[in-house]
Amino acid sequence: MLNMNQNFRDKNLLPIFQKLQSGERLSLEDGLTLYNTNDIISLGKMANYVQQRKSGDAVYFVLNQKIEHTNICVLSCKFCDFAVKKGDANAYEMTTEEILSKITPEITEVHITGGMPADWKWERYVDIVRSIHEKFPNADAKAYTAVEIDFFHKKFKISIEEVLRQLKAVGLRTMPGGGAEIFSERVRRLLFNQKIGGNVWLNIHKTAHKMGIPTNATMLYGHIETIEERLIHMLKLREAQDETGGFLTFIPLAFQPGDTGIKPSNQFTSAIDDLKTIAISRLMLDNFPHIKAYWVMLTEEVASVALNFGADDMDGTVGHERIAHDAGAISPMQLTKEHIIKIIKDAGKIPVERDVYYNPLNVYADHVVGKIPYLNSIPFYAHFEKRQFRILPVAPRRMGVLSEKGQIDAGLFSLMDYFKQDENLELMGWCLASRDQVKSVTLFSKEGWGDLNGKKIGITDDTATSVHLLRVLLEKKYNVHAQFERLHAGVNDVSAYDAVLLIGDEAMKRNKSGLHGFELVYDLAKEWYDWKKMPFVFAVWAMKKSLDESLKNALKEIITHSLEKSEIDFVADARLHGNEIGWSEEETRQYLEGFNFHLGEREMEAMMEFRSLVLDIETVTVR
Ligand code: V47
């Protein structure tokens, strides 16, 4: 936990830091105070504090390729040096074959955005996404900004929903955040009066979210906008995110003046303004999972510092970029994976290669300790003195996958992953075990247990152990067989299922609000306890057997210390986390008291009982 109050040079920041510590939202006035401060270091520390709470030491990057399929555009935005008119000497249009030739097999995200020519057919846009998806099944499309989606809607007379539905059907996974510019009518009239305004942009993104398409959000800053306009932009995004929860990352785009005439061509935003904007967006946008330091527009150097000023996302290798470079950007056209990894490591963070949804694919660091990012694991981590270790928050199932690749040294592993990997992992004496109920592993059902035979159950993508517990309960306790199907990102309509299994914070939120259409709510630990009169061990602390003895001892000391401190006082982090998911302090306290964190004889016995039951049923296949 951070104790930095005494180090603040600008005492005006203290009440804001107190708000952050108690989970209170920042106001427009707070944002102005932050922009006005000269105490840039305290601002950075506050943003880093929030970043640590959200993503630990992780900084995400992706192996991506930018595709700007044409620069011909019917619009004439004053800040844009990329777009030209048809017939211009620099005009270009890429065929689908040319686009495909730019993509290589290791690419996992293709970022597609371009000009809007008057004569392209709808099928051509659909074909780009479809062809990429067919030829490179590992590459997910992040395609078309809200401005382009609105253009398709008007030009081809197809509703926004239908545009998105058709694109999603051929492989669009997420939408980029471009085209938001700045949500100010004043600036729009002066710089981009032919382009959609903030309300249309926000409505298109909200529509996408409701259809299971997560999106990003940008803000173009450093031209003629005021600081207040920047903050209003952030607040509008925060409000939209409260409504849908579909934004993945926020990207402040530093204006590149080029030949636009808005500013002299060498008058880039200052590094101080860039860092302030990154940090302030981290603090204002409390409901955004990630903040991106877009090195293409910030430069590598500023992006690198930004990783300690609230940013946890480095975009990616990019491949080739024209929008910023046509406007004079001085950054390289692309970075190698090794170079990005080095920048992130130099910032003292864990380089995490991600997929289009921010699921971790590979981790490039030593001494990585995995953290299940749910309320119930907080006592282990709240007073965790990191020393040589780095913390990676990761959903249980993903932690198992990374550990199989040898990329996690220790962590609170899902029990099934420990069973699978017990040749390489050793137990550390702690666990996450329910006593008689758990409140965060819940089956929401339309049918009673006995009536689930042959029915379809949607399973959260995060679980590794609870899905097996559910199978054991169904088959061994109730003698029924159901079909299981993973709820992958992008599935937002669960009405087709007869039951849905949720875990962690999501289950806790739904326990309060209910899941529409699912009247029956079952706590799986309670079902287990009523049947076996045993605790249920959901996760165990384990570390690589091959780890140095000195590291093993250091880690044990760290966890012993954190747990002891957490047992003495109710942890501020837990209160804050509970607050974020809508649980009162008392409810949070009671919830945590329902767990046993020490792996004793009863827990070992319960583990063995569960293991024999799991081995006894056919291997669970969950698509
Ligand atoms: O919408 C245009 C901006 C955006 C200039 O979603 C300019 O992950 C600076 O949105 N100076 C396109 N910016 C780029 C974009 C983006 C980039 C990286 C990642 C993601 C993401 C999205 O570029 C446009 C516009 O706002 N832009 N001209 C300029 N002169």
- Asked whether the predicted pLDDT for residue 109 surpasses 50, the reply is yes
Contact, 225 vs 187, CB < 8 A? Answer: yes
* CA–CA separation, 520 and 12 (whole Å): 50
**Residue 536 is inside which H or E element, if any?**
strand 536-544
Band of the pLDDT at 1, cuts 50, 70, 90?
Answer: very low
Torsion angle (degrees, nearest 10) of CA 280, 282, 283, 288: 140
pLDDT tens for residues 509-564?
A: 999 889 999 999 999 999 999 999 999 999 999 999 999 999 999 999 999 999 99
Using the mean position of ligand 1's atoms as its centre, give its distance from the Cα of residue 490 in Å: 25
Contact, 111 vs 176, CB < 8 A? Answer: yes
Write down the CATH superfamily of domain 5-362.
Answer: Aldolase class I (3.20.20.70)
Band of the pLDDT at 623, cuts 50, 70, 90?
Answer: very low
The pTM of the full predicted model, rounded to 2 decimals, is 0.95
* CA–CA separation, 308 and 350 (whole Å): 12
Report domain extents, the chain. Answer: 5-362, 363-436+537-612, 441-532
What are the strands of the beta sheet with 247-254, ordered from one edge? 215-221, 247-254, 290-291
Quick one: CATH architecture of 363-436+537-612? 3-Layer(aba) Sandwich (3.40)
List beta partners, residue 370: 392, 411
- Asked whether the predicted pLDDT for residue 303 surpasses 80, the reply is yes
Q: Which of 64, 181, 220 to mutate to test the pocket of ligand 1 (most atoms within 8 A of CB)?
A: 220
- Asked whether the predicted pLDDT for residue 424 surpasses 70, the reply is yes
* Crossing angle for the helix pair 14-21 and 28-36, to the nearest 10 degrees: 130
- Asked whether the predicted pLDDT for residue 447 surpasses 60, the reply is yes
How much is the pLDDT for 6?
Answer: 59
With a pLDDT cut of 90, the percent of the chain lying above it is 92
Band of the pLDDT at 572, cuts 50, 70, 90?
Answer: confident
DSSP 432: E
Do domains 363-436+537-612 and 441-532 share one topology? The answer is: yes
Q: 64-90: string of b/e by CB count within 10 Å (b at 16+)?
A: bbbbbbbbbbeeebebbbbbbeeeeee
Ligand 1, residue 147: give the atom nearest the CA.
1
Torsion angle (degrees, nearest 10) of CA 145, 150, 155, 156: 90
pLDDT tens for residues 38-64?
A: 999 999 999 999 999 999 999 999 999
DSSP 331: S
Contact, 229 vs 187, CB < 8 A? Answer: yes
The residue contributing the CA closest to ligand 1 atom 13 is 255
pLDDT tens for residues 115-148?
A: 999 999 999 999 999 999 999 999 999 999 999 9
The per-residue pLDDT of the chain, averaged, comes to 95
What are the strands of the beta sheet with 441-445, ordered from one edge? 483-487, 456-460, 499-503, 441-445, 520-523
Pocket lining: 215 vs ligand 1, CB cutoff 6 Å: no
pLDDT tens for residues 63-83?
A: 999 999 999 999 999 999 999
Using the mean position of ligand 1's atoms as its centre, give its distance from the Cα of residue 225 in Å: 16
pLDDT tens for residues 151-194?
A: 999 999 999 999 999 999 999 999 999 999 999 999 999 999 99
Domain 441-532 has CATH 3.40.190.10: yes
How much is the pLDDT for 104?
Answer: 95
Cβ burial, residue 300 (10 Å; 0-12/13-18/19+): middle
Pocket lining: 216 vs ligand 1, CB cutoff 6 Å: yes
How much is the pLDDT for 4?
Answer: 55
* CA–CA separation, 245 and 134 (whole Å): 30
Using the mean position of ligand 1's atoms as its centre, give its distance from the Cα of residue 438 in Å: 45
User: Higher pLDDT residue, 591 or 4?
Assistant: 591
> 281 φ, ψ to 5°?
-65, -35
Ligand 1, residue 254: give the atom nearest the CA.
9
